[in-house]
């Protein structure tokens, strides 16, 4: 079968199956292009996240970038460029990791905009806590990507949904067969901390 005729979800899952590249090396492997990405980790990291009993061979999280994988993944989610401002308040996947690592990394939710507190479910972290989270992510996570084929008419969201339904990554809260209640509860704790911040 010609590559252009391959089922895009099958092709994407093959590329996203991991383990991918260390985040610190990812700039050499991730294209400035639209596509999907998957976050992976070793079994001991799944245990640190409290995810015993889940299959560590699948991704922890799958997401998409409609514009540029480097800008969306490496900069927003993983703060690949040191000195970047706090990003947890702008990244749902960082908020999920922060919630599951709240105790081991001593993290606390704060308002994303302290001068105008609100939207507490989009909690952020203090600068030093954000740096601890970034360091942890760089040490323990890898990322695999699938670049959207040029010149092929497809809707990334539909490909992403098919993959989420099949893999059910535990850190995804939408379009998965069974969203993880443990994660919802952990995020609610940090949102409550942000709400009570003074």
Among 86, 132, 82, residue whose Cα is nearest residue 106? 132
pLDDT averaged per 10 residues, the chain (length 198)? 67 91 78 88 96 90 85 71 68 95 97 90 93 93 90 85 96 94 97 92
Nearest C-alpha neighbor of 45 from the set 73, 18, 63: 18
Domain ranges of the chain: 3-196
24: closest CA among 92, 105, 81? 81
The secondary element (H helix, E strand) that includes residue 147 is strand 142-147
User: Token match 């067969």: residue?
Assistant: 177
pLDDT digits (tens, 9 = 90+) for 32-85: 788 999 999 999 999 999 998 888 889 999 999 888 777 666 777 887 665 555
* Other CB atoms within 10 A of residue 118 CB: 10
In the block, which residue shows the tokens 């939710």? 109
Buried b or exposed e, range 53-62, using 16+ CB within 10 angstroms: ebebebbbbb
Please tell me the predicted confidence (pLDDT) of residue 2: 46
Q: Is the dihedral of CA 108, 144, 27, 151 positive or negative?
A: negative
φ, ψ of residue 170 in degrees (nearest 5): -65, -20
Give the bridge partners for 62, in sequence order: 38
Q: Which residues pair with 104 in a beta bridge?
A: none
């Amino acid at each position: 079968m010609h590559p252009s005729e391959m089922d895009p979800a099958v092709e994407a899952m093959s590329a996203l199956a991991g383990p991918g590249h260390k985040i610190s090396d990812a700039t050499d492997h991730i294209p400035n292009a639209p596509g999907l990405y998957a976050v992976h980790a070793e079994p001991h990291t799944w245990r640190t996240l409290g995810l015993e009993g889940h299959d560590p061979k699948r991704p922890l999280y799958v997401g998409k970038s409609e514009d540029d994988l480097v800008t969306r993944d490496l900069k927003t989610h993983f703060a690949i460029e040191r000195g970047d401002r706090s990003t947890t308040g702008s990244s749902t996947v960082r908020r999920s990791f922060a919630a599951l690592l709240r105790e081991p990394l001593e993290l606390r939710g704060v308002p994303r905009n302290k001068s105008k507190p609100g939207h507490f479910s989009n909690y952020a972290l203090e600068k030093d806590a954000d740096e601890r989270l970034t360091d942890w992510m760089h040490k323990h996570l890898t990322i695999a990507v699938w670049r959207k084929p040029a010149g092929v008419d497809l809707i990334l969201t539909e490909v992403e949904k098919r993959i989420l339904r099949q893999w059910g990554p535990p850190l995804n809260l939408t379009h998965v067969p069974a969203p993880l209640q443990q994660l919802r509860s952990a995020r609610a704790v940090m949102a409550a901390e942000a709400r009570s911040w003074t």
